[in-house]
Amino acid sequence: MPAVEPFWWIVVSGLAMSAIALIGSLALLLSASGMRRVVTPLVALAAGSLLGGAFFHMLPAATRTMPDLGSVFGWSMVGFAVFLALEQFLHWHHCHRAEADCRQPIGYLILAGDGLHNFLGGIGVAGVFLVDIRLGITAWIAAAAHEVPQELGDFGVLVHSGWSRGRALLFNFLSGLTFLAGGLVAYAAAGHGQLPFLVPFAAGSFLYIGASDLIPQVNRHDSVRGNAVHFLAFAAGLILLWLLRGVAHGDHPW
């Protein structure tokens, strides 16, 4: 493939990820109970997509480009640890789980955390694009599945903390542009070569977000029906990414 092609994939995917921030406006059409009914299954779907992307696509690809398995799993743990440190530093769980305590400063904290999170995500996904375009598309799909429920939640918290709807949408969009910025940094750092360690790094970040951040939000519902719905949504995310192996790599998962 021409050397310039990954650059345009990185740019288009970065702009598309930023546009996902505008989906937060859908929160205006839903009641609080409606938001809970919609967002939690989407969170479960995102968790399955992120774990499926890591296990079915990125880690197998990393073992092909980095024969040393110790390096593959080492870089995966670096990605895991970086996102753990990011969440600890910015109190991400507090902002999403204690909305009653969130006021204007918390709105800025959410945007700062989202921006840094997107920047690191952009570096990881761009690194995957630099190794394999098809694998990069898969990584972007898994990351986008996570962004939809997150942006809905972020928009709701910003409005609750006193931001106008237009301002909340604008700043959410600007925060999303850091995904593109991270992608461009990865591309500039790689030059015309590749950064294969970013594939397991991205896998580790996906594993952290899916298993540590998202699953705890959906695995303790107060009804059997709710738990069943969330498990099916999680399984759907896994199955979707499993089936995408045939599209992304030209083989069949069955």
Tell me, yes or no, whether 6 lies in a domain: no
Residue 110 pLDDT: 67
Tell me, yes or no, whether 76 lies in a domain: yes
* pLDDT tens digit at each of 254 positions of the chain: 444 588 899 999 999 988 887 887 776 676 767 766 777 788 888 888 889 888 988 888 888 888 888 999 999 999 899 888 877 776 544 444 444 444 445 566 667 767 877 888 898 889 889 888 888 888 898 888 878 877 777 776 677 667 777 888 888 888 889 999 999 998 888 765 567 788 888 888 889 888 887 888 787 767 788 888 889 989 998 998 888 775 555 444 44
The alpha carbon torsion through 125, 20, 148, 54 (nearest 10 deg) reads -10
Residue 1 pLDDT: 41
Tell me, yes or no, whether 54 lies in a domain: yes
Domain of 34, in residue numbers: 17-248
In order of 55, 113, 145, 156, 200, the CA distances from 89 in angstroms are 27, 9, 24, 22, 23
Contact 177, 21 (CB under 8 A): no
Tell me, yes or no, whether 7 lies in a domain: no
In order of 11, 131, 228, the CA distances from 224 in angstroms are 43, 43, 6
Residue 132 pLDDT: 85
Residue 78 pLDDT: 93
Tell me, yes or no, whether 129 lies in a domain: yes
Question: What is the tally of structural domains in the chain?
Answer: 1
Tell me, yes or no, whether 253 lies in a domain: no
Residue 12 pLDDT: 93
Question: Is 32 exposed, middle or buried, given 0-12, 13-18 or 19+ CB atoms closer than 10 A?
Answer: exposed
Residue 229 pLDDT: 86
Tell me, yes or no, whether 8 lies in a domain: no
Residue 101 pLDDT: 45
pTM exceeding 0.75? no
In order of 71, 73, 76, 208, the CA distances from 55 in angstroms are 16, 12, 11, 12
Residue 192 pLDDT: 54
Tell me, yes or no, whether 12 lies in a domain: no
Which backbone phi and psi does 183 adopt, to 5 degrees? -65, -40
